[in-house]
Amino acid sequence: MLTFIRRVAVATTLLVFLPFVVSAQDFVWTPGLQRAFSDLQKLKVAPAQQQMARESTANGIRIFLDDYADMLLLATSDDEQAFDRLSDRESDRLDVLKKLDDTSPWQRVMLAEVRLHWAFVKLKFGKEVSASWDVIRAYKLLAENQKRFPNFLPTYKSLGTLHVMIGSVPDNYIWVANLLGLHGNIKQGQDELKGAGQDPVFGREARLIDFMVRAYVLKFTDADEKLLQRFISEHPDNLLLNFFGATIEQKNGHSEQALAYLANRPTGKDYLALPIIENILGDISLQKGEYPSAITHFQQFLATYKGQNFLKDTYYKLFLCYWLGDDRSAGDIASRAYLQKVITVGRTTVESDKAAHKFADTYLKRGASPNQKVLMRARLASDGGFTDSALTYLRPYSEAKFPLTPEKAEYNYRMGRIFQRRNDSDAAIPYLSRALTLSEPDQLSFGATAALQLGYIYKQKNDRTHARSFFQKAISFKRHEYKNSVDNKARAALNE
């Protein structure tokens, strides 16, 4: 029976890809390249490269897959030396692709994909300007391909993604996008991703991107979570899906589900090493208050990771493990040493590193009150979805027990988020509203995030007037460490 199923699957795959095999001699999806792409999407890079070595280097699909493999290696390792060694390959591959058959709908798609691979990698290595130009050029290639071949589904995987990104640009930057000829909105992008999800080549990737849009740009719902669980269960040998499933669930306060994805992830020598998984496991242990386990995971991450992103964030979390631990004298000495490292290592490209650096700078200059430990324990537990523990930390307190305005604002914000995560929005609203009021004079980040969550609550209640008002209020906060993500989410919600 299994043999029969395998044969049917192989036959079906070949039939599905047949239109692409015969479409143009410069872009041929051979059976070997189909297998290689499938392996790359699972993070099985070495087997894919072995398969690709048997294929013609003049085939545009082979060039694209070689580039895809390099992107995965650089993105998962953050290895600066590897980036310096491989970065010239972008222009070399673009030069070859430009000489291939421009009457094929694949040519501009492959050119755009290579540019987007390197844009993503360059952003990780702090090369924002070069990355931006790659994105702009990729957009123009895909827009041209859409005009020439409007029914060619592979165009819409990346074009839809870019339309979502353009649609979530804050109001004060829209003129820049328009000046550069970039047009699109979130609904348009989502519709295009949905269509691309039916494509036999990029369908799986388009579906994953759609989930990430829902998690990181929009509001991830219970229905989205069920669809994600089904999607991942359909591909048990796919490490990439398990990894992104874990990050999406953790982002949305479902750390137990994230832990389940990581526990069930496929392993073996064929798969790329992902040091960042140790960081995620450390996060979840920290949220649970399991500090020795968290320390072990964070130290393992630092021992195997070669990049500069997430270093500040990791040393900050090691500080938290000792600062929040029971051994006060030893903990204070160790925690301060880790906080000094936050200032001196890594870069501030990602938001978590920015937030870690800001905390370390403030703490080392001013110290922290005992109340901040209570608030931190509640924050970590709530962020992981462990709301019973979070409430246990905060129930003995009231706003009056916190003397400083930022502490009062954080107390109210944490209480509001706890009740919101427990699906008790009526209990959450007064706390979040109070956090917003306390935060506005000094533009504290708690106000921006509270306004965003109030917008979501009123949107769910179908009170569009209040929802719009709170999303606009979230964007109005001028200076805080989470401005990019808050503004993107609020902008996306307004566009809906």
Selection from 14-23, 258-267, 365-374, 483-492 with the highest mean pLDDT: 258-267
Is the pLDDT reported for residue 439 higher than 60? yes
Which pLDDT score, from 0 to 100, does residue 427 have? 96
CA distance 448 to 489: 11
Helix (H), strand (E) at residue 210:
helix 203-216
CA distance 176 to 127: 19
CA distance 357 to 484: 17
Determine whether 6 is exposed, middle or buried from the number of CB atoms within 10 Å of its CB (0-12, 13-18, 19+): exposed
CA distance 222 to 73: 33
Is the pLDDT reported for residue 180 higher than 50? yes
Residues forming beta bridges with residue 27, ordered by sequence position: 24
Is the pLDDT reported for residue 125 higher than 50? yes
The answer to whether residues 122 and 72 touch, using CB atoms and an 8 Å cutoff, is no
Reduce the DSSP state of residue 24 to 3 states and report it. Answer: strand
Which pLDDT score, from 0 to 100, does residue 7 have? 35
Which pLDDT score, from 0 to 100, does residue 171 have? 61
Instruction: Quote the Cα angle for 273-275-278, to 5°.
Output: 125
Q: Which of 292, 210, 279 is nearest to 250 (CA)?
A: 279
CA distance 62 to 323: 51
Which pLDDT score, from 0 to 100, does residue 3 have? 36
Is the pLDDT reported for residue 387 higher than 80? yes
Is the pLDDT reported for residue 285 higher than 60? yes
Is the pLDDT reported for residue 118 higher than 50? yes
The mean pLDDT value for 252-278 works out to: 94
The answer to whether residues 430 and 449 touch, using CB atoms and an 8 Å cutoff, is no
Q: Which string of b and e fits 252-277 if b means at least 16 CB within 10 Å?
A: bbbbebbbbbbeebbeeebbbebbbb
The answer to whether residues 274 and 255 touch, using CB atoms and an 8 Å cutoff, is no
Q: Which residue has the higher pLDDT, 302 or 328?
A: 302
Measured on CA atoms in the order 115, 119, 120, 122, is the torsion positive or negative?
positive
> Up-side HSE of residue 335: CA atoms within 13 Å toward CB?
22
pLDDT digits (tens, 9 = 90+) for 129-140: 999 999 999 999
Q: Which of 6, 58, 72, 61 is nearest to 31 (CA)?
A: 61
The residue with tokens 């494509």 is: 199
In this prediction the pTM is 0.85
Q: Which of 102, 42, 36 is nearest to 63 (CA)?
A: 36
CA distance 350 to 363: 20
Is the pLDDT reported for residue 209 higher than 90? yes
Which pLDDT score, from 0 to 100, does residue 25 have? 82
Share of the chain above pLDDT 90, in %: 73
Q: Which residue has the higher pLDDT, 7 or 331?
A: 331
The residue with tokens 């360059």 is: 122
Which pLDDT score, from 0 to 100, does residue 177 have? 66
Which pLDDT score, from 0 to 100, does residue 363 have? 87
